Amino acid sequence: MHEKVFNAVGSTPLVRIHFDSPAAIYAKLEYMNPGGSLKDRTALYMIEQAEKSGRLKKGYTIIDASSGNQGIAIAMVGAAKGYKVVITTTEKCSEEKLKTLKAFGAQVVVCPYVDRMDDPNSYHSVAVRMNRENPKSFMPNQYMNVENAEAHYHTSGPEIWKQTKGKITHFFAAAGTCGTVSGVGKYLKEKDKNIKVIAFDAKNSYYSTKGNPKHYKIEGMGIDFDTPVLYKEYIDEIIPVSDEDAFGAIKPIASKYGILGGLSSGAVAYGVSQYAPKMLEGSLGVMIFGDSGRAYLSKLNF
């Protein structure tokens, strides 16, 4: 029993998916968080750190830029804690995620889709400006705040280590802000430096195109600017995945395993399917399924 919905964040299950590989690979179903994604962890952690340090006080508005899920998580935690919430997002954000934000009572500002996050019209720049103009506001700033990675260092990392009884050999996650792969990667490498940490990026992102980004359709992932949240020292490889491969991997897993992941889960599943054949017998992989395909049904042609 929980007094508040955010007390139910975390402790998500690992479920096996069989790839063409001698290794055992499990998906961590982050869509089982109460707000429906891995971002419940970062939103809750960053809000509570800000409350503890006095950066967030009663009566304040929480403002952040989000491709959708961090916004939804902030809106959920904000509703349960009694804060006003403003979320800036892009026109790429699915209709389902926009309506979820509004259902939780958030004010939503939809910004044009631009290739670079440092463009003054980007959803990130707009949120920074709104935060600067309102002295009674707090911006978690997931793209620049290392507490984003710390949230995963303190929650997802230890959970995965415990769930696999320390036997994990490979960790796979999609990278957007890079909080997940950095925080979990740091935790796991400190436990055993031989664990391989592999991130998947959108093929057309700022990072994977070496500074010449092009439009891409996957939501939630894609390293779109230089960020202190990317802890390169704990990451062995960053592998690009195309829109087509990511979208194409969702339905086969849903119809075979009953696990309907979202767009980044599709990218992770595709990336792992390509990586898994070279893993050795006895290896144990964990991959993050960040949210549910239910948030994108209007974009998926099944």
Ligand X SMILES: Cc1ncc(COP(=O)(O)O)c(C=O)c1O
User: Which residue in 243, 251, 250, 237 sits closest to 222, CA to CA?
Assistant: 243
- For the sheet with 196-202, list strands across it: 14-17, 24-29, 284-289, 170-174, 196-202, 237-241
Tokens of 289: 């399924």
Whose Cβ is closer to ligand X: residue 178's or residue 188's? Answer: 178
Distance CA 155, CA 5 (A): 17
Whose Cβ is closer to ligand X: residue 60's or residue 207's? Answer: 207
Shortest distance, CB of residue 54 to ligand X, whole angstroms? 26
Distance CA 240, CA 271 (A): 8
Whose Cβ is closer to ligand X: residue 38's or residue 60's? Answer: 38
15 backbone φψ class: left, alpha, beta (φ>0; ψ -120 to 50): beta
With H, G, I as helix, E, B as strand and everything else as coil, classify residue 153: helix
Whose Cβ is closer to ligand X: residue 159's or residue 291's? Answer: 291
Distance CA 122, CA 166 (A): 41
Shortest distance, CB of residue 181 to ligand X, whole angstroms? 6
Shortest distance, CB of residue 268 to ligand X, whole angstroms? 8
User: Which residue in 170, 165, 201 sits closest to 184, CA to CA?
Assistant: 170
Shortest distance, CB of residue 81 to ligand X, whole angstroms? 21
Q: What are 14's strand-pairing partners?
A: 28
User: Which residue in 67, 205, 50 sits closest to 131, CA to CA?
Assistant: 50
Q: Residues interacting with ligand X, by CB under 6 A?
A: 37, 39, 67, 69-70, 174-180, 220-221, 262, 264, 290-291
Whose Cβ is closer to ligand X: residue 61's or residue 177's? Answer: 177
Distance CA 83, CA 99 (A): 19
Of 28, 39, 186, 189, the catalytic one is 39
Catalytic (active site) residue 39: yes
Alpha carbon 91 to its chain centroid, in Å, reads: 18
Catalytic residues: 39
